[in-house]
Chain A
Amino acid sequence: MGGYVGRRPARHAFDLRGRVSAMTTEERRQLSDAPVPNYHLSERQLERMYYYMRLSRSLNERMMALQRQGRAAFVIAGAGQEAAQVGAAMALRPGVDWLAPYYRDLGMNIVLGMTAREAMLNELAKADDPNSFGRQMPAHWGSVSRKIVTQSSVVATQLLHATGIALGAKMRNDPIVVLTCCGEGSTSRGDFHEALNFAAIHKLPVIFYVQNNGYAISEPTVKEMPVEHVADRGQAYGIRGQVVDGMDVVAVYQTLRPAVELTRRGNGPFLIEAKCYRLWAHSSDDDDTRYRPRKELEEWALKDPVVVFRQRLLEDGMFAEEELAEIDELVTQEVRDAVEWAQQMPDPKPEDALGYVYREVQ
């Protein structure tokens, strides 16, 4: 099957000149000797990519609508980051590799197996929400079977959990990779720096994946750091830093895939920064018109990763319009079903607030 590498560059480009080289010559050689010599994408994978991105966006849209109707209390979404999330998560081995995500990572959860119904249980804080059973706000992920680490609201703490998992795996000679995510604002916290430092010292199998969406609530990136690229911070820790166009799902996959394999082989951690954009307000509680120029938003809206990818698949002749429309329809049905189904699922009982504070001593 002819692989798809993207026949043209994405229609917008970041200036990636002068980036720290992600791979040494020796590593490039290792990879080309490897059983998976290249990271081309099959049609099937491209189709999945589009489906995951579309589903993630549609779910977020419906969640927001529910919130506006007063049927959900709070939404924090990944709109604008679907390419960054889906491309990265597809580079993992589901059920083998670990994910310590952050709140916008609906797309990653979907790739690793979260269904639309489960996403809606989570949004509506239903008793059967598999992430936290209504105990946490929506978008605070966690799943034992999918190896998704339970996540809190406190930003960047998960980077240390990921590092600890990678330490355990290294001690057990377990060939896994841990992917952990945060926003660019969160890289100002000490836990980010402590995690990078430790992971680099011990050459741990962890990838720090920063989704730089331009804002930390209202603060633009320049208020969080004086350097242009988060990835440059890797240099200070002896970690390979790499920037990728996070609006281009193929580029993301093709960056993450070799990084994942190199990391799995003991070559140590990566710091990868996906440049993307937060297309919506920070959350359903935020009014971004207070701080974000409309013009900037309009410009970025043209680069909407879901729309751009769809167009590219068509223009490159990978899929016909009907085929993509079929996926769109499938997603619409799936989301509609999920909302209807989840809404009639039971809420937690008030007294479900109690219990599981400690695990019983066996």
Chain B
Amino acid sequence: MAEVNVLEAIRETLDEALSEDDRVFIIGEDVEAGGVFRATDGLAKRHPGRVKDSPLAESSIIGISIGAAHYGMRPIAEIQFADFIHAGFDQLCSEASRWSYRTKGEQYLPMVVRTPWGGGVHGGQHHSQSIEAYYTHMPGIKVVAPSFPADYRSLLKASIADPNPVLFLEHKRTYRLVKQDVANAPAETSIGRARITRRGADLTMFAYGLMLHECLAASEELAGEGIECTVVDLLSLQPLDVETVLEAARMTGKVLVVHEDTLTGGFGGEIAALIAEHAFEYLDAPIRRLAAPDIPAMPYHHAMEAFFMPDKQKIAAAARDLAAY
């Protein structure tokens, strides 16, 4: 049984992409030495000149990737922590996302921005953030947030091949934590497809990243109590697999949306709105969102961090409530 973790899946995929296409290169802080999470370990040596350390300047990492992609390269930018991408927001929002639109598709940007996101690693305010909602609000950029190694692999491959800017979110807590026997993993997926990971008649959970694993763990526990859950791994937030979202909501009539981003303006609101708009008649209970409280960012102390993040217990509790409605 060949088990790989998330980090290995990412590293192998990058290695393959560098081998297969000489337009592909990696740019980011510390990437030549392997990066702080070691996602690019060994790649600089195997692909001389194609793994490039950048100065510590996020706007330039993204802006230069835009230029290189425009020229015809296939840059894969790494932003060391999603928390520091904000300095590159302007380049992503004002430039990358509109490149195709403002030229009616004549100019376009095949580029990927990879970045580790999410909490649960004692990273405090600036090493734990969820940034997806800023970018799902930005037509022109694709936002991908896988949960399992095999999906990291197929979606990273798809992101590199995609002619659009893709923000590829890697949940840092899962890097080494989540392993999968990739030989027996579900078939390769593509950007824009969600997956129903578990089927149960009582309620439907929607999640991505670390929270997907917490939802699966909670469902396991709930099954012992006779509550059967459907769990949807969203995988791709923009474009979103609306069809699967609605189908999964209709299957049970009870919906729990989970994310570790703060509640207000979080991506869960979009899922809730879509279901309310298009599957209202199927609902047997109000849509429930479980998210982090509306405080600016994740606190450092482990007790406060745990308080901030949804987890298996909180999910199970919310699900029991919902099932009993």
Binding site for B on A (CB under 8 A): 98, 100, 131-133, 135-136, 140, 142, 144, 149-150, 152, 154, 157, 159-169, 171-172, 190-191, 194-195, 197-198, 201, 355-362
Contact = CB atoms under 8 A, between A and B. Distances in A.
Nearest to A153: B94
Contacts of A160: 59-60, 62-64, 66-67, 91
A360 B70 CA distance: 16
B67 A164 contact: yes
A131 to B, nearest CB: 8
A164 B66 contact: yes
A59 to B, nearest CB: 22
Contacts of B94: 152, 154, 157
B153 interface: no
Nearest to A160: B63
A161 B67 contact: yes
Given A161-B63, A190-B59, A198-B55, A152 B95 contact: yes
Given A168-B72, A361-B162, A162 B67 contact: yes
A135 B108 contact: no
A194 B70 contact: no
A286 to B, nearest CB: 22
A159 B91 CA distance: 11
A135 B98 CA distance: 10
Nearest to A148: B107
Given A160-B91, A161-B63, A167-B67, A361 B163 contact: yes
B64 A140 contact: no
A209 to B, nearest CB: 16
3 nearest A-B residue pairs (beta carbon): A164-B67, A160-B63, A168-B71
Nearest to A169: B71
Residue among A163, A168, A198, A355 with max Cβ neighbours from chain B (10 Å): A168
A166 B100 CA distance: 21
B106 A163 contact: no
Given A135-B104, A171-B49, A358-B100, A166 B59 contact: no
B139 interface: yes
B102 A132 contact: yes
A168 B95 CA distance: 18
A301 to B, nearest CB: 35
B62 to A, nearest CB: 8
A150 B99 contact: yes
A194 B54 CA distance: 10
B69 A164 contact: yes
Contacts of B161: 361
B73 interface: yes
Contact of B68 (A164, A190, A362): A164
A187 B112 CA distance: 28
A103 B88 CA distance: 22
Contacts of A144: 103, 106-107
Contact of A165 (B62, B70, B101, B142): B70
B59 A191 contact: yes
A164 B57 CA distance: 14
B64 A359 contact: no
A198 B60 contact: yes
A134 B63 CA distance: 25
B224 interface: no
27 contacts: A132-B104, A133-B104, A135-B101, A142-B102, A142-B106, A150-B99, A150-B102, A150-B103, A150-B107, A152-B102, A154-B90, A157-B90, A160-B59, A164-B67, A164-B71, A165-B68, A168-B67, A168-B73, A171-B25, A191-B63, A194-B55, A355-B105, A356-B105, A357-B139, A358-B142, A358-B239, A359-B164
B91 A157 contact: yes
A170 to B, nearest CB: 10
A128 to B, nearest CB: 11
Interface residues of B, number: 46
Contacts, number: 141
A160 to B, nearest CB: 3
Given A160-B67, A201-B55, A358 B95 contact: no
A133 B102 CA distance: 8
Contacts of B98: 152
B67 A358 contact: no
Nearest to B53: A201
B28 interface: no
B59 A167 contact: no
Nearest to B98: A152
Given A191-B60, A197-B60, 6 more contacts: A132-B102, A133-B103, A164-B63, A164-B71, A165-B70, A357-B140
A186 to B, nearest CB: 13
A195 B60 CA distance: 7
B101 to A, nearest CB: 5
A359 B66 contact: no
Contacts of B100: 356-359
A142 B105 contact: no
B129 interface: no
B66 A198 contact: no
B140 A164 contact: no
Nearest to B107: A150
A161 B95 contact: yes
A201 B56 CA distance: 13
A167 B49 CA distance: 11
A166 B69 CA distance: 11
B139 A136 contact: no
Contacts of A159: 63
B104 to A, nearest CB: 5
A164 B161 CA distance: 19
A87 to B, nearest CB: 25
A168 B268 CA distance: 39
Contacts of A131: 103
A163 B49 contact: no
Contacts of B57: 190, 194, 197-198
